[in-house]
Amino acid sequence: MLEVIYVVRHGAEQLATHLLHVDPPVDLIYSSPFYRCLQTLLPYTTALAKAKGQDNVQILAERGIGEFYGRARFDHPSPAPLSVLRTHFPHLPSAPVSPSKDPDPIIVPSTKGETIPQLHDRLAYCLSHLIARADADPSSPKSLLICTHAASMICIGRALTGVMPEEEGEEDFKCFTCSFSKFVRRRRSSAADAGGQEAAKWDPERPEEVPDLGWRGGKGVGGGWECEVNGDCSFLENGEERGW
C-alpha cells in the first residue's frame, strides 16, 4: 500500500536537489498538466533519469490536480494537449497506439470554473482515485509525488487529513513557491479500510457536479493522512516566497 505522499508547488530548480534526497524516495510522479508544473519537475526527472535510466522515469499528467480559476461565465484556460506537451517533456508517457487517444483524466474542472467547496471536493475525488490506483499497482509503490498549484496544494492538505477549517481562508497548509509537504498514511487494519472511498462517479457531462466523498471531519481520503512536513522552504536560497 501507498505510505507517503509528497506535495510541491511549481517554482525553481533548487527543488530538484531536495526531491532527489527525500526519504523514502519517490516511486510515482503525478503533475498538473499546466506547463509551469511540468517545467518545475524537469530538472528533477532529468537527474533521476541519469541515475535510474531514461525508461524508468515517468510523469503522469492529471487534470484533477490542476489550477483553480474561481467561478466565471467565460471559458477558463486549459492546459495544452499531451501531444504538444510530449514535444517539450521527455518523461511523459508515449502516445498509445490503440486506441488513438490518451487515457481519460480522473476529473476535469468545469470550463466555467468552480467554487471553493467544489475545488476541495475535486481534489478529494482525484486523490482518492490516485491512492486507490497506487494501492492496486502490482509494483507496490510506497511514495507518490504531486506537483501542483497554490490553491490546489492547500486543498490537498485538507482532503488528505480531513481537517477543514470553519473559514475557508484560514491559514493552515502552506503553499509558498517550491514549498515541500509530506503526508504519512494513518495505520489501518486492512487495505479495504484504507482504500479509496466508493461513491457516485463524476460525470464529464455534468462537470460542475463533483461527488462529495465524506472526507471532512478528520476522515480524509484513502483512510486519512498526517501532515509531517508543512510547506517547507528551508532548502531554498531565498526561503519562503509568494505564499497565499
Q: Which three cell numbers stand for residue 146?
A: 504531486
Which one has a higher pLDDT value, 45 or 111?
A: 45
Per-residue pLDDT, 240: 79
How far apart (Å, rounded) are the C-alpha atoms in residues 206 and 109?
10
Residues 6+ apart with CB under 8 A from 186: 194, 220, 223, 224, 225, 226
Domain architecture of the chain: domains with CATH: 4-232 (3.40.50.1240)
Residues recorded for the chain: 244
The model's confidence at residue 52, banded by pLDDT at 50, 70 and 90, is confident
Q: Which three cell numbers stand for residue 185?
A: 498514511
- Whether 233 has a pLDDT exceeding 70, the answer reads yes
In this predicted structure, which of 73-82, 103-112, 185-194, 211-220 has the lowest mean pLDDT? Answer: 185-194
Confirm if 108 and 64 have CB atoms less than 8 A apart: yes
Query: Where are the alpha helices (H) located in 108-239, listed in sequence order?
Result: 116-136, 150-161, 191-194
pLDDT tens readout for residues 105-164: 999 988 888 999 999 999 999 999 999 999 999 999 999 999 999 999 999 999 999 999
How far apart (Å, rounded) are the C-alpha atoms in residues 162 and 215?
5
Angle at 71 (CA atoms; ends 202, 197), nearest 5 degrees: 25
- Whether 74 has a pLDDT exceeding 80, the answer reads no
In this predicted structure, which of 75-84, 143-152, 154-163, 181-190 has the lowest mean pLDDT? Answer: 181-190
Per-residue pLDDT, 244: 77
DSSP class of 212: -
- Whether 192 has a pLDDT exceeding 70, the answer reads no
- Whether 173 has a pLDDT exceeding 80, the answer reads yes
* SS3 call for 239: coil
**Which phi and psi (to 5°) does residue 61 adopt?**
-85, 135
Helix (H) or strand (E) holding 41: helix 35-52
Residue percentage of the chain with pLDDT more than 70 = 92
Which one has a higher pLDDT value, 11 or 218?
A: 218
